[in-house]
Structure 1
Amino acid sequence: MNEDLNTNLMVCSKCIYDERVSYIKFDENGVCNYCHQLEMLKNEYGTGQNKGEEKFLKILDQIKRDGKNKKYDCIIGVSGGTDSSYMLYLAKQWGLRPLAVHYDNTWNSAIATENIRKVLKALDIDLYTHVIDNKEADDIFRSFFFADVSEIEASTDLALAEVMYRAAWKYKVKYVLEGHSFITEGITPVGRNYFDGKYIKSIHKIFGKLPMKSYPLMTLSRFLFWVVFAKIQKIRPFWYINYNKEDARIFLEKKYKWKYYGGHHLENRMTAFFHSIYLPQKFNTDMRNNTLSALVRNGQISRIEAWNEYIKPPHIEKDLVEYFKKRLELTDECYNEIMARKPKSWNEYPTYKRIFEFLRPLFKVLANANLVPMSFYLKYCFPMPKGDKK
């Protein structure tokens, strides 16, 4: 029993990941394998150290050299959230000429849309947007809901990646800057929130009703084209430099009258439904432990504070369930029936996972060259560990 946390669950002695997390293991000191993985990445990238700063300065010099005489030298995906908004500011401070790219799944909150407008206007940055047909977007979301899998929002994440590649290709840009930080967000546990183009296409083929016309699907051939032929690099500056999310948020609020949207990943209404309702209620999964564990590892809060926050019910936006049902044309009976059904896993549907595993040597080379994120290589290119996944 973890007496300090007042729980019978086995909980990591360094964060708050507990025995219910998929494929978790603990060493003799009670430290989980995910904490060890983060330490490995921290050492490899020199995060927040001189080594990391020096590595990133060399990358910046290369971006500027490769972008010479071009209108833009890098792409930055924007959502209206903290990380991407602050990345835009930093890019200008670094002397870069970014093009902001947004994938509009038609579920944006008004706050997020206004945040994007305010920051881009103040920094004089152009915006490239791909807007999916709202009926088509809802049909894809509905397909995942009917499939009983947790990755209801996967189509958004993959579409943004594809749209950023398209924008980079159109403007002959070789670099995409992403606002992800494993220090502030952690890394999603193995087996959780998997997605690829074949997965999305197969789910939609079974459960969808409308043709996929305006959705920017990233197939395997397109993915390999972007990373092997076009050689568009994915750079995550926060993996190298020191970054504090709370400080960034305060800065954005003061500098641009940017507004906070109430919690991590809540800038989009589908994302909010996914994190605060769908995962906790249907899958007994609460991804707040990612961010809370990161705060503990960074010494910003104690394990007890994090655990007490984690065991509280997540914040749920008023009328969010009704909005979800209305958008997806679900009756109360249908919604309740699906939410009560036994969950299914992504590995029960067709995916590219085995191909990614087969091509692991290639993706290792690509990850070292920043042509695919290292997190993709670690999560997607290895077989699932044997044994109970919790």
Structure 2
Amino acid sequence: MTICSKCYYDNNYPEITFDKNNVCNYCIQIESLANEYGTGREKGIKKFQQIINEIKVNQKNKKYDCVVGVSGGTDSSYMLHLLKEEYKLRVLAVHYDNTWNTEISTRNIYAMINKLNIDLITHVVDNKEADDILKSFFMSGVAEIDGPTDLAVAFVLRTAAKKHGIKYIFEGHSFLEEGITPLTNNYFDGKFIESIHKKFGEMKMQNYPLMTFRKFVTSIIFDRVKLIRPFWYINYQKEMAIEFLSKNYDWKYYDGHHLENRMTAFYHLIYLPKRFNKSLKINTIAAKVRNKAISRKQAEELINKEDKASKDIEVYFKKRLNLSDNEYGYYMGAPLKNWKDFPNDKKKFEIMRPLFFVAQKFNLVPKSFYLKYCFKK
């Protein structure tokens, strides 16, 4: 077995390669991104300040400077503080409620916006429709069970930005803290979501904010909203952010990455590990080893540590979707499916790659999106 000399990945990790010094391609990619964006260094801080200055000039006659998607999690909560208190931006917070929020996440959202005096828009999907969509993905056997939520969040943010004349959306991703997911993992688009729901769902899709390929491209060409990821430029450490938020706001940690939402928690803690023998927490753990925050021995302990919330989340999932133990067991053990097994718009993204190449150069789509969606797999 070959193990990366910088992080925790070994040669069982998808699409991994190693150089002559046993450094994996993911570490090399992260180092390349850090150099390109100047992450945490003077270069990155200057670049980000230039973005802030541009926003203040271009949005001066508008009510808001930017949109921030909020979930009650660490990254989005800290970003609210950062943009409002340190960079003095007029922030509009936007939340997509798939009705699977934990009490902690809702509490954290209001703790932040109330103390910072930030306006909030919440799009609440019909809970029965949301459950029908999510159940259809569970029945389909694909890995992307949380895809409908992720796509809805993106569309709701773009819709809010367009309505209020805002040209900047901030996202809380950090490749240093979270690592990079293999490009072949998890694909979804509007047509993919619609086709799975049509085959396995029982209700009509009416309230769910479906972002089709046409709506997405129209938004890019005509709305020209820039997607900014502050943590790609400035120094950001999640553990320090957790400590800061807990100390300075009425904010509570939820004991794990992405565990502020019950569906996302099910996806991370149970569905991927038990159904597909995969775990996304290895990305975060490998990042900690790469950053020298923990040792390899500590990483192994974290990988093997059983999450306390797993049992409760599984019980909640079955009850919420009205699944008997037999039904749940059947679908968890059914043949696995791939995104290629259902109609999707992947070919359209590949054909229109030149458009998305230009779009990512101007921050109209993330670079990671361009690499993942616009090349053949």
CA contact (8 A) 1:276 1:315 kept: no
Residue matched to 1:354: 347
Whichever residue aligns with residue 181 of structure 1, its letter is: S
Residue matched to 1:58: 50
- Partners of 1:14 and 1:305 in 2: CA distance: 15
Is 1:112 aligned to 2:134, yes or no?
no
Q: 1:153 aligns with which of 141, 146, 152?
A: 146
Q: Could you say if the C-alpha distance between residues 317 and 281 of structure 1 is closer, same or farther in structure 2, counting changes exceeding 3 Å? A: closer
Is 1:365 aligned to 2:350, yes or no?
no
CA contact (8 A) 2:5 2:23 kept: yes
CA contact (8 A) 1:277 1:316 kept: no
Residue matched to 2:237: 244
- Partners of 1:12 and 1:199 in 2: CA distance: 35
Number of aligned positions between the proteins: 376
Residue matched to 1:4: none
Residue range with higher mean Cα deviation, 259-268 or 360-369: 360-369
Residue matched to 2:225: 232
Secondary structure (helix, strand or coil) at the match of 2:214 reads helix
Whichever residue aligns with residue 380 of structure 1, its letter is: Y
Residue range with higher mean Cα deviation, 299-308 or 111-120: 299-308
Q: 1:26 aligns with which of 18, 23, 45?
A: 18
* Per-residue CA distance 1:270-308 (angstroms, 9 max, x = gap): 011100011100100011111011111111112232123
Is 1:311 aligned to 2:304, yes or no?
yes
Residue matched to 2:69: 77
Secondary structure (helix, strand or coil) at the match of 2:53 reads helix
Q: Could you say if the C-alpha distance between residues 314 and 344 of structure 1 is closer, same or farther in structure 2, counting changes exceeding 3 Å? A: farther
Is 1:376 aligned to 2:366, yes or no?
no
Is 1:267 aligned to 2:260, yes or no?
yes
Is 1:91 aligned to 2:83, yes or no?
yes
Residue range with higher mean Cα deviation, 242-251 or 294-303: 294-303
- Partners of 2:9 and 2:337 in 1: CA distance: 23
- Partners of 1:21 and 1:378 in 2: CA distance: 19
- Partners of 2:23 and 2:336 in 1: CA distance: 29
- Partners of 1:23 and 1:206 in 2: CA distance: 31
TM-score (norm 1): 0.94
- Partners of 1:235 and 1:131 in 2: CA distance: 25
Whichever residue aligns with residue 207 of structure 1, its letter is: F
Residue matched to 2:193: 200
Secondary structure (helix, strand or coil) at the match of 2:287 reads helix
Displacement of 1:318: 4.3
Q: How does 1:292-331 map to 2 (within 5 A)?
A: 292-331=285-324
Residue matched to 1:281: 274
Displacement of 1:226: 1.3
* Per-residue CA distance 1:92-114 (angstroms, 9 max, x = gap): 12010010000000000000000
Displacement of 1:28: 2.1
Q: 2:33 aligns with which of 41, 51, 54?
A: 41
Whichever residue aligns with residue 114 of structure 1, its letter is: R
- Partners of 1:37 and 1:364 in 2: CA distance: 18
Residue matched to 1:165: 158
Secondary structure (helix, strand or coil) at the match of 1:68 reads coil
Which ranges of structure 2 fall in alignment gaps of 5 or more residues? none
Whichever residue aligns with residue 48 of structure 1, its letter is: G
Whichever residue aligns with residue 107 of structure 1, its letter is: W
- Partners of 2:129 and 2:19 in 1: CA distance: 47
- Partners of 2:195 and 2:12 in 1: CA distance: 29
- Partners of 2:190 and 2:41 in 1: CA distance: 36
Whichever residue aligns with residue 320 of structure 1, its letter is: I
What fraction of aligned residue pairs are identical, expressed as a percent? 57
- Partners of 1:228 and 1:46 in 2: CA distance: 28
- Partners of 1:40 and 1:356 in 2: CA distance: 25
Residue range with higher mean Cα deviation, 121-130 or 347-356: 347-356
- Partners of 1:230 and 1:46 in 2: CA distance: 28
Secondary structure (helix, strand or coil) at the match of 1:76 reads strand
Q: How does 1:324-343 map to 2 (within 5 A)?
A: 324-343=317-336
Residue matched to 2:205: 212
CA contact (8 A) 2:65 2:91 kept: yes
* Per-residue CA distance 1:132-154 (angstroms, 9 max, x = gap): 00000000111110110111111
Residue matched to 1:3: none
- Partners of 2:62 and 2:338 in 1: CA distance: 45
- Partners of 2:45 and 2:253 in 1: CA distance: 29
- Partners of 1:84 and 1:380 in 2: CA distance: 25
Secondary structure (helix, strand or coil) at the match of 1:319 reads helix
Whichever residue aligns with residue 29 of structure 2, its letter is: Q
Displacement of 1:34: 1.2
Whichever residue aligns with residue 225 of structure 2, its letter is: I
Whichever residue aligns with residue 43 of structure 1, its letter is: N
CA contact (8 A) 2:6 2:27 kept: yes
- Partners of 2:265 and 2:364 in 1: CA distance: 30
- Partners of 1:199 and 1:18 in 2: CA distance: 32
Whichever residue aligns with residue 235 of structure 1, its letter is: I
- Partners of 1:26 and 1:121 in 2: CA distance: 48
Whichever residue aligns with residue 268 of structure 2, its letter is: H
